[in-house]
């Protein structure tokens, strides 16, 4: 606290005009959040001039690190030429073509301003296409704040979030993540419009779906006519150029994107998939507004976001070494911290795939999100978060930590994180 008086003052001020002092509650941590003055690469600086190694990385949007020069450069150019015009332009076509090329299950795509919005439109699109009502989501999965999907995010899963009505979620079916048997049975006995799944649960603790789980979903959807929706807001263009679906070898009908699609710097969401499904949005095919599925938005596909997204994705397509670097660091972090838990006989587990890393202070390995959420030692997580912060490292979030590794992170950054974590494990051992 002695080194962050500026943040303390700003938080005090923020609380007077912003509920809770923050615009997204997960950004709050004790005793007050940091107020940022600058961000570059893997580093951020607070208003008091302290430097931090950042693994929060703009909620995972920054696969190349902060202020990636080619993205900033193209953004600067379009700031001069026109940022948001409200009419079509070539850049949205370029980005759409780029996404379709990198993610083969996506034949057509539409842009939104957030992942929440994209998921919301996909619920409607799936219901419009299948003429069915029920949607499936999984315990602990997070698809943004849209009512029909904003349920069973945190335990107790059956409890509704204040303001979400029973009517809004009456057609949402909650099923356990990574549980093949129950899920297969429940999908087959219903008339489901769409199954929404995060191939790697992000906010739920970087818990990967098992390959069998995703295959089971694919088969159950094929056999029943439900659409399989992969929410790749986190995993898209991060786990591989083709996202999680490329790694798992399972093709969804619709994919939802966000974060990286805006160049990591600008607000964005997108959804795309089979042309036959996406064509329900086509005003040419369906001239009556009542016969087509609505999607739009004042700032959707604005020039700045499209230019930044196209620049980043076209580069990622050509630079496999980026994936080698971030995945290697992620694997090393998981492996070495797991070894430290064993060496010091402290209970803890590492999860994730590639550059998505989760740490869990649970008594057993969290193979599903429920275990991670219900069995975690909350106090220990808070202590770890504080320990990292005191060592000028930022992880996401205070309640349970995960790490987004970017191409800017170095081997030295990682070794420092591992050393700082070992110090923590040793302290915990003697508690
Ligand atoms: C898997 C997933 N889906 C959807 C969202 C919501 O996206 P946004 O915050 O852009 O609305 C998030 C946000 O982190 C996410 O992680």
Q: Options 3.40.640.10, 3.40.50.150, 3.40.50.1820, 3.40.50.720; which CATH number does 69-318 get?
A: 3.40.640.10
Average pLDDT over residues 57-70: 98
Average pLDDT of 382-388?
Answer: 98
Strands of 32-167 (E only): list them: 36-40, 43-46, 51-54, 108-112, 134-138
**Centroid of ligand 1 to alpha carbon of 234 (angstroms):** 7
Tens of pLDDT, residue by residue over 81-127, are 999 999 999 999 999 999 999 999 999 999 999 999 999 999 999 99
pLDDT band at 423 (very low <50, low <70, confident <90, very high): very high
The per-residue pLDDT for range 27-49, each reduced to its tens digit, is 999 999 999 999 999 999 999 99
- Conformational region of residue 174, where left means phi above 0, alpha means psi within -120 to 50, and beta covers everything else: beta
In this structure, the residues whose C-beta lies within 6 A of any atom of ligand 1 are 59, 114-116, 119, 142-144, 198, 202-203, 231, 233-234, 258, 269
Cα–Cα distance for residue pair 282/110, rounded to 1 Å: 11
pLDDT in tens, 132-188: 999 999 999 999 999 999 999 999 999 999 999 999 999 999 999 999 999 999 999
Q: What is the pLDDT of residue 135?
A: 98
Cβ(113)–Cβ(172) under 8 Å?
Answer: no
**Which residue among 234, 239, 256, 266 has the greatest number of ligand 1 atoms within 8 angstroms of its CB, and so is best to mutate?**
234
- Residue closest by Cα to atom 13 of ligand 1: 144
- Alpha helices by DSSP H, listed for 89-137, are 90-102, 115-130
- Mean pLDDT over the full length of the chain: 97
CA angle 130, 271, 264 (to 5 degrees): 160
Could you tell me the residue ranges of all domains in the chain? Answer: 5-67+320-429, 69-318
Q: Name the pairing type of β-strands 192-197 and 227-231.
A: parallel
Degrees (nearest 5) of the Cα angle 15, 67, 86? 80
Domain 5-67+320-429 has CATH 3.90.1150.10: yes
State which ligand 1 atom lies nearest to the alpha carbon of 117: 11
What is the C-alpha to C-alpha distance for residues 87 and 94, in angstroms, rounded to an integer? 15
Tokens of 144: 């943004």
Question: In the structure, what pLDDT confidence band is assigned to residue 312 with cuts at 50, 70 and 90?
Answer: very high
Instruction: Give the integer Cα–Cα distance in Å for 115 and 122.
Output: 11
Structure confidence at residue 347 (pLDDT): 96
Distance in Å, CA 232 to ligand 1 centroid: 9
5-67+320-429 matches 69-318 in fold: no
């Amino acid at each position: 606290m002695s080194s962050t008086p500026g943040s303390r003052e700003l938080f005090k001020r923020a609380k007077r005009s912003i509920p809770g002092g923050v615009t997204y509650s997960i950004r709050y941590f004790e005793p007050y959040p940091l107020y940022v003055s600058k961000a570059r690469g893997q580093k951020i600086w607070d208003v008091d001039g302290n430097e931090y190694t950042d693994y929060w990385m703009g909620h995972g949007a920054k696969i190349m690190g902060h202020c990636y020069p080619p993205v900033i450069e193209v953004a600067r150019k379009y700031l001069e030429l026109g940022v948001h015009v409200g009419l079509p332009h070539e850049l949205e076509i370029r980005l759409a073509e780029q996404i379709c090329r990198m993610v083969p299950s996506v034949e057509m795509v539409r842009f939104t301003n957030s992942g929440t919005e994209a998921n919301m439109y996909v619920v409607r699109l799936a219901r419009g296409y299948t003429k069915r009502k029920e949607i499936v989501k999984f315990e602990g999965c997070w698809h943004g704040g849209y009512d029909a999907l904003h349920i069973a995010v945190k335990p107790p899963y059956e409890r509704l979030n204040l303001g979400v009505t029973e009517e809004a979620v009456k057609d949402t079916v909650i099923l356990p993540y990574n549980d093949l048997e129950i899920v297969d049975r429940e999908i087959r006995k219903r008339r489901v419009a769409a199954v929404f799944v995060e191939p790697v649960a992000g906010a739920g603790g970087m818990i990967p779906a098992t390959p069998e789980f995703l295959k089971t979903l694919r088969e159950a959807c094929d056999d029943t006519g439900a659409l399989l929706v992969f929410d790749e807001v986190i995993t898209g263009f991060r786990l591989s150029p083709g996202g999680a679906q490329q790694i798992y070898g399972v093709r969804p009908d619709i994919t939802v994107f966000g974060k990286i699609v805006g160049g990591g710097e600008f607000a964005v969401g997108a959804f795309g998939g089979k042309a036959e499904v996406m064509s329900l949005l086509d005003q040419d095919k369906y001239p009556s507004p009542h016969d087509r599925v609505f999607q739009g938005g004042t700032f959707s596909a604005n020039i700045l976001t499209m230019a930044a997204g196209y620049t980043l994705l076209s580069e990622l397509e050509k630079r496999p070494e980026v994936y080698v670097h971030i995945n290697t660091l992620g694997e090393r972090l998981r492996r070495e911290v797991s070894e430290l838990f064993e060496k010091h006989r402290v209970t803890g587990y590492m999860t994730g795939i590639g550059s998505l890393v989760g740490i869990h202070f649970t008594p057993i390995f969290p193979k599903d999100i429920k275990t991670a959420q219900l069995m975690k030692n909350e106090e220990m997580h808070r202590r770890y978060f504080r320990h990292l912060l005191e060592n000028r490292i930022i992880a996401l979030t205070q309640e349970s930590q995960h790490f987004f590794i970017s191409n800017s992170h170095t081997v030295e950054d990682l070794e420092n994180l591992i050393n700082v974590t070992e110090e923590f494990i040793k302290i915990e051992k003697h508690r």
